[in-house]
């Protein structure tokens, strides 16, 4: 399932018609804070503020070869939905997006602004995903999955950019939602022949991938995180787990408090806005500060789509990082 370097490079040509490569910066204050050379891959700088757009652009380029499509439907907590909405609009397709009740108001607004019809259903992503499948069946719509080879090929491009720009990284920390980002990193690392270890990061209040990684079996886990909606996965994707089991070095769990502290550190040291999942990689690096001292590490700031009220609350709390 892992794409080759040629396939990732071809995906990049599709993506660069809609957006430029995102930067990776080594921020001096972060380096001082961790006692390491710290690189940040800024996927918060895409046109939808998150890495998911890359997968959507490639998926819809492939989908455009099909005829007779009435429209598409998908489920999301926000960033995947923005990706689908923007990519569908570029190809003249209608998009229905199912989100759980209580989803981010500002992510919902962004999806509507991109032309999506929003449907609120269920209390978590899994319930929304099941409803999206029912809508696809009832209305003859194409169901866009959250994990697919085309999506993986697209999101692998950000890792290709990072690893080509910074060639001797020791460790890369990457958040795990449903798995496309970390699997894309595996693909790019393997294709480029890099030696960097890959560390997955999950919320300690959404442990499905961590529990599954430890058990070497699919394990569902309840979700209680209020900050890391991009990692709020209850049911892992088996195809993603197979890749993670084979190629990922370890998984680190971080709490909402640790993520909040990392959001504050990112704002203080780089003046970038990070959503919960976007700050999770830094939270894990801070948690492993002794291990990363003197090393060359990177983390993926996977998205910056955090509601203003939540961001203000987090910034006003006292930092413990």
The answer to whether the beta carbons of residues 141 and 70 sit under 8 Å apart is yes
What's residue 125's pLDDT?
84
The model's pTM is 0.94
Give pLDDT, residue 62. Answer: 94
- Residues 82-107 pLDDT 10s: 999 999 999 999 999 999 999 989 99
3-state helix vs strand vs coil in the chain, percent to 5: 50, 15, 35
- Nearest C-alpha neighbor of 50 from the set 109, 110, 5: 110
Q: Please, what is the average pLDDT of the chain?
A: 95
CA 5, 7, 9, 12 dihedral sign is negative
pLDDT at 141: 95
Residues of the chain with pLDDT under 70: 319-321
The per-residue pLDDT for 213 is 97
The two tokens of residue 246 are 């084979």
Q: Which structural domains are found in the chain, ordered by start?
A: 5-50+149-316 (3.40.50.1100), 52-143 (3.40.50.1100)
CB neighbourhood size of 249 (10 A): 11
Query: Phi and psi of 277, rounded to 5°?
Result: -65, -35
pLDDT at residue 318, as a whole number? 75
Backbone angles phi, psi at 267, to 5 degrees: -65, -40
């Amino acid at each position: 399932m892992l794409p080759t370097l040629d396939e990732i490079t071809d995906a990049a040509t599709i993506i660069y018609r809609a957006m430029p490569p995102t930067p990776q910066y080594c921020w001096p204050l972060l380096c001082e804070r961790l006692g390491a050379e710290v690189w940040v891959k800024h996927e918060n700088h895409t046109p939808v503020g998150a890495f998911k757009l890359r997968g959507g652009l490639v998926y819809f380029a492939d989908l455009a070869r099909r005829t007779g499509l009435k429209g598409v439907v998908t489920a999301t907590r926000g960033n995947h939905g923005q990706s689908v909405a923007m990519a569908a609009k570029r190809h003249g397709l209608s998009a229905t997006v199912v989100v759980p009740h209580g989803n981010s108001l500002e992510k919902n607004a962004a999806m509507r602004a991109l032309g999506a019809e929003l449907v609120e259903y269920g209390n978590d992503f899994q319930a929304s995903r099941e409803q999206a499948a029912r809508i696809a069946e009832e209305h003859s719509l194409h169901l866009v999955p959250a994990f697919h080879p085309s999506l993986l090929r697209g999101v692998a491009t950000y890792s290709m950019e990072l690893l080509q720009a910074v060639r001797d990284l020791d460790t890369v920390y990457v958040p795990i939602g449903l798995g496309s980002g970390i699997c894309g990193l595996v693909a790019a690392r393997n294709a480029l022949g890099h030696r960097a270890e890959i560390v997955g990061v999950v919320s300690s209040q959404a442990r499905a991938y961590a529990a599954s990684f430890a058990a070497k079996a699919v394990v569902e886990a309840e979700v209680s995180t209020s900050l890391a909606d991009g990692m709020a996965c209850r049911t892992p994707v088996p195809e993603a787990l197979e890749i993670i089991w084979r190629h990922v070095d370890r998984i680190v769990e971080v709490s909402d408090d640790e993520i909040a502290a990392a959001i504050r550190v990112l704002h203080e040291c780089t003046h970038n806005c990070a959503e919960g999942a976007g700050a999770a990689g830094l939270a894990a690096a801070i948690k492993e500060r002794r291990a990363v001292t003197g090393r060359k590490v990177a983390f993926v700031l996977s998205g910056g789509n955090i509601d203003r009220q939540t961001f203000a609350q987090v910034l006003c709390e006292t930092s413990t990082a």
